[in-house]
Amino acid sequence: MKVFYDHIIIIDDIITEIEVMDFEESEKQEIYSLVDSIIHHRVLEHILDMLDIVHHDEFLTRFYAQPDDMRHLVFLEKKTNKDMVSELHKLSEAL
């Protein structure tokens, strides 16, 4: 699934590490899926932590309707008064 933060949270290094592992291709695919899921949940958790609870439902409704809509960044920056690209870069580095 393409999401609005794909260009910010880069997981190429993780994918490279998985590719060189001595696993069956099906096992690698499962690992890719797990990594993607973990990152997705961490990103959403981070966003929701920064976003006032009164905006959670609106954001999640918008997000699940159109996960790749770049306007989510504008919405989040307006509601949090934070530079979301910078915030997500920091999270990416911590992952």
d(CA 69, CA 71): 5
Closest CA to 87 of 30, 43, 21, 33: 43
| CB atoms closer than 10 angstroms to residue 7 | 10
What is the overall mean pLDDT for the chain?
Answer: 93
pLDDT digits (tens, 9 = 90+) for 20-53: 989 999 999 999 999 999 999 999 999 999 999 9
User: Would you place residue 13 in the very low, low, confident or very high pLDDT band (cuts 50, 70, 90)?
Assistant: confident
What pLDDT is stored for residue 10 in this prediction? 82
| CB atoms closer than 10 angstroms to residue 42 | 15
- Which tokens go with 65? 């309707």
- pLDDT of residue 14 exceeding 90: no
d(CA 93, CA 89): 6
DSSP 82: S
What pLDDT is stored for residue 87 in this prediction? 95
What pLDDT is stored for residue 11 in this prediction? 81
